[in-house]
Structure 1
């Protein structure tokens, strides 16, 4: 059953969506007598929002969550609701009755309101938590560097809503005693303290080998209203941040697996297809002009195609505008473009410097072979070389390659004539995999548009 907070949150969202539609109508139609809205469209959007928003986790607890990620989830969920509404209106032949400007104003105002309301509420809760209110008291069980790190992060972020109120030392050579936090090494005294002082959560910051200790704490507090969470110390084993997933009905911790959960992959897939379709539609005139320029620059096809590896190592054919004169290379050898390369045409040099040669890759995105944001794909021949000499290179294949990426906006573009350059690119790619969020994707897209079209290393 929904709690009162969940019902209020849904009610506020409904009010904001309807208010956004009414405000958009007032903005669109200056003459008040002409002011109108499409009630069926609004009703459907409200209903779809109530169904879709919980899927994106918009009504879950915000404690410890990234505001940027939350804003991205709200934006994506609302855009999908509006896209669904347009599809419905099209299917019942009512799109001609909808003002396009009104729809754009409504989408923008309601998105701003939905995000703004959450930011305001988060700001209020943040102020309360800094003042010592609305905090959950946590007892941390563990020892060593991992335990120190967990407590340190908690103390460094009071706005997350958690407060370290007790510490139970387990097998630590050096006693870790954070200021103002009582430390225990006697199990009975610790249990008594938890029950008498209102401890609401116990975090087990332990390695996987301490199963007996974990079982002891779970058994002791089985009949108490205390949340017990396991924060495993798997830094020496897990490549990406470990997460618990449901696998054939049993909980499993991923140590080396895809770093993006299934829900994130769905969000990314939907965004990629929509963005690629809109980009191809908007860029059609530019694509036509570039295609003509390429055809006139030298003999050969408009597009350059080459096989690349995608997610899970699947091979696909990538599309680019041709930037070089037609030439033949030995089988199994792909020569990278260098500064002043005589194979590059005049038009090709401009396209490579401005990254306009990459635009046809939106076709690959629309076909599901690439993503808008992700690790840049390399020639298969180069993959085979770098995979042997660059640490972590293979893990770039865990998600779809992208048109742009975290490495590219941080300067790792163009020729990789030194192993150190490729190592730096891979390190940035792995950072992206470990820290992915919809907000990070939007940041990369914005940075690419703002400064990514021209780069001194692109030739």
Structure 2
């Protein structure tokens, strides 16, 4: 194997992060100055104060959320999303300060919007240019890092495939090291990656300066081996990273957390935490209020029709599990002649005799679900989320479907990712419930406001009427 070139930026990571900070500062300041210059507006003390506040807020957000760390192993889209989020939050702070402190009621004006858009394009544009330049350099053997993986198990193999499939990271995988070097043949992952030796050989190669980065993929039970290896590598200049095999589990929105300085990794967590829970709640309040205003008349007409076509109450309230498994009472228009809400609840089936004639129409068109927008307004449900099941069904399926209760890491929804993908209605086989749970967990893992809006839009076209709804 030919000796790879040492990374030309190997000793300058801190210089690059400083350069990023200075470039961001320059873009924000020049953007504000150019906007005033092009509109012939004077650079008053108020204008400079606004620019200074923007610099301080954006810089604080970037530092606090590690915008200026290394992005070598991340795709550019994740960096650009962070930049857009932080600049958007900065702009909101500026508008709030203008409104509260300067009593500017007509916000934002055209000049401010031009500044916001111009700076956003510049902040993202120069990052794209730098990343493109780095990709070109790395494809020619520059700005690379020579890396080795410790451990030839499943975690090490997965890491090798990840590195090998992403040459834009500039990581030149030399090979594997393990206590039993002859045990693994990795030719099947695309190219032959050799097992170079045992752990003593790894330490010796690192001391000789042959390795820039070492990724350790040992099992959680290998504490003694891990401590001995790290002690040996501390006598080298190689950067050392530990990738615990906990990442081989099916993690649900995993994140790191510090407990009085002690780092920890969550395996199951919710994306609706902190500020994002507020964003989700605002989304629900705004949309549910608008929808209830639009459907007020249909709600009244349906209630009258139910009252005059079958005996019993208009609304049916059923006990179901909400956020974190806490019980809630979900509202529906009554569509059956019975109101099962106990330890045994029989699912509706095709041509079910318990369903009233009007109820059959409402269930096919999902009109019976409309009162749940009041549940949303009350904060018990969300417009988008995993559909809530009767408590009896929860207790049944939590014993049969792996990860079933993880659906309750978020509020239940009126519509969801599973429903628009066809997994709604009767779950007469275990496979159907497993697929529903699979799509629900996909939604939780990938949640965003845009995904919610996409699901709501798709629900309008294929979520209300469904062949499986009866």
* TM-score category of the 2 structures, normalised to the smaller one: 0.7 to 0.9
Q: Is the 8 A contact 2:148 2:175 kept in 1?
A: yes
Q: Is residue 147 of structure 1 aligned with residue 156 of structure 2?
A: yes
1:380 maps to 391
- When Rg is computed on C-alpha atoms for both structures, the one with the higher figure is 2
SS in 2 for 1:279: helix
Q: Distance in 2 between matches of 1:21 and 1:5?
A: 24
Aligned to 1:87: 96
Distance 2:285 2:111 in 1: 22
Q: What is the CA–CA distance in structure 1 between the aligned matches of 2:329 and 2:320, rounded to whole Å?
A: 6
1:311–1:398 contact (8 Å) kept in structure 2: yes
**1:58-112 CA distances to partner (integer Å, 9 max, x unpaired)?**
2222122244444443343333333333333333362314345666665555445
* Greater RCO, CA 8 A, separation 6+: 1
Name stretches of at least 5 consecutive residues in structure 1 with no aligned partner: none
Aligned to 1:207: 219
Does structure 2 conserve the Cα–Cα contact (< 8 Å) formed by 1:143 and 1:170? no
Compared with structure 1, are the counterparts of its residues 267 and 58 closer, same or farther at alpha carbon in structure 2 (3 Å cutoff)?
A: farther
SS in 1 for 2:274: helix
Check conservation: 2:155, 2:217, Cα contact below 8 A: yes
Aligned to 1:126, which of 130, 135, 159? 135
Partner SS for 1:191: helix
**How far has the Cα of 1:199 moved from its partner?**
1.4
CA–CA distance in structure 1, aligned partners of residues 29 and 361 of structure 2: 51
Counterpart CA distance in 2 for 1:16 and 1:150 is 37
Deviations 1:140-167 (A, max 9, x none): 1112333222212211112233221232
C-alpha RMSD over aligned residues = 4.1
User: Cα offset for 1:243?
Assistant: 5.8
C-alpha spacing 1:155/1:385, structure 2 compared with 1 (3 Å): same
1:270 to 257, 274, 278: 278
TM-score using structure 2 length: 0.76
2:8 alignment partner in structure 1 = none
Matched residues in 2 for 1:458 and 1:18: separation? Answer: 57
CA contact (8 A) 1:409 1:444 kept: no
Report which stretch shifted further, 193-202 or 400-409.
400-409
Mapped to 2, the partners of 1:22 and 1:412 lie a distance apart of: 54
Matched, 1:249 2:261: yes
Give, in angstroms, the shift of residue 206 of structure 1: 1.3
Offset of residue 357 of structure 1: 6.1
Structure 1 equivalent of residue 238 of structure 2: 226
> Structure 1 pair 14/339, CA: closer, same or farther in 2 (3 Å)?
farther
* Aligned positions, number: 441
Q: Secondary structure at the match of 1:452?
A: helix
Unaligned runs of 5+ in 2: 1-12
Distance, in Å, in 2 between the alignment partners of 1:18 and 1:292 is: 56
Aligned counterpart for 1:61 among listed residues 64, 67, 70: 70
Kindly report which structure 2 residues correspond to 1:32-431, keeping only aligned pairs within 5 A, or say none: 39=47, 41-92=50-101, 94-99=103-108, 107=116, 110-171=119-180, 174-176=183-185, 179=191, 181-234=193-246, 240=252, 245-254=257-266, 257-260=267-270, 265-280=273-288, 283=291, 285-295=293-303, 297-299=305-307, 306-318=318-330, 322-324=332-334, 328-332=338-342, 334=345, 336=347, 341-342=355-356, 344=358, 348=362, 352=366, 359-360=373-374, 362-364=376-378, 367=379, 369-370=380-381, 374-431=385-442
Change (3 A) 1:228 1:374: farther
CA contact (8 A) 1:390 1:423 kept: yes
Q: Distance in 1 between matches of 2:413 and 2:69?
A: 30
Distance 1:207 1:16 in 2: 46
| CA gap 1:354/1:391 in 2 versus in 1, 3 angstroms | same
Q: Deviations over 1:348-384 (max 9, x none)?
A: 46862798666445425xx4x5556543332323212
